[in-house]
A = this chain, B = another copy of it.
Amino acid sequence: MIITGKNFTPHRIAFYAGIIVIWQIISMVGVWPDNIFPSPYEVAEDLAYSAADGSLFYGIATSMWRLSIGLAIAISGGVVLGIFMARVEVINQTVGSLVLGLQSIPSIAWVPLAILWFGLTDVGIIFVTAIGAIFAVTINTYTGVKNIDPHYIEAARNMGAKGTQLITAVLIPAAFPYMISGFKQGWAFAWRGVIGAELLFSFLGLGFLLNAGRSLNDVSQVISIMIVIMVIGLVIDTVVFKKLENKVMSRWGLQ
């Protein structure tokens, strides 16, 4: 993972440094008591501690691998479903509407069913993760495909593109700028789903660490894990999605 200088611009560094400084000042001024608003120093200490005993890295690794599988399922399923929803009205009316409905259900409500169907296994967590992410991918793919300039599709069909060819050679590349946005959101929601599921299943991973912090009313541990979650989210966004987005945008002449 190479983090180029471009990704961590002076602005960004200054911004985050500023947040930490303000945070430190607020905690020093003592607007809120320490137990509900720990200082950055305390949080950093907590972080160092869980890094030192390895539990942090083990938690990250566990969460990441669950996420990868859940996200892979969400992306492939979401792209296929999104395309079919956009192109086949019957699917839009039926399965599509169901996905949408399912999406309104908080992951927490899925947990009993996930336990019922998959038991206390990684599969259950992956299920909750995938279900949390698939909708964003589906709906962005759907929107992307629906908004393709109809002339592209006409031209392609006129030149003999059909079925799968039409999908892979036209629909996907034409909708790609929006699909990226779906992947990005899918990633964020999957990340969120995996943590949420781990928290409820209380079964290893970062979510488990978060739950432990909460159960013990240890706010600085809670915040330190939240920061880890955020930082991982940001790094992935910067090194994966921003790059992809910039590449596609410059091809389309949008930059």
Contacts and interface: CB of A to CB of B under 8 A. Distances in A.
A3 interface: no
A178 B147 contact: yes
How many copies of this chain?
2
Interface stretch (A41-49, A52-60, A108-116, A159-167): A108-116
Given A103-B233, A237-B100, A109 B226 contact: yes
A36 B100 CA distance: 24
Q: Is the interface of A mostly helix, strand, loop or mixed?
A: helix
A192 B196 CA distance: 13
Contacts of A101: 230-231, 233-234
| Interface size bracket, A side | 35 or more
Given A104-B188, A105-B192, A108-B200, 19 more contacts: A12-B93, A12-B97, A15-B94, A32-B116, A101-B230, A101-B231, A101-B233, A102-B230, A103-B192, A104-B192, A104-B232, A105-B226, A106-B107, A108-B196, A112-B214, A135-B185, A135-B188, A139-B185, A185-B185
A177 B86 CA distance: 14
A241 to B, nearest CB: 9
Contacts of A37: 116
B12 A254 contact: no
Interface of A: 9, 11-12, 15-16, 19, 32, 36-37, 90, 93-95, 97-98, 100-109, 112-113, 116, 135-136, 139-140, 142-143, 146-147, 150, 177-178, 180-181, 184-185, 188-189, 191-193, 195-196, 199-200, 207, 210, 214, 219, 222, 226, 229-234, 237-238, 245, 249, 252-254
A188 B100 contact: yes
Contacts of A16: 94
A150 B234 contact: no
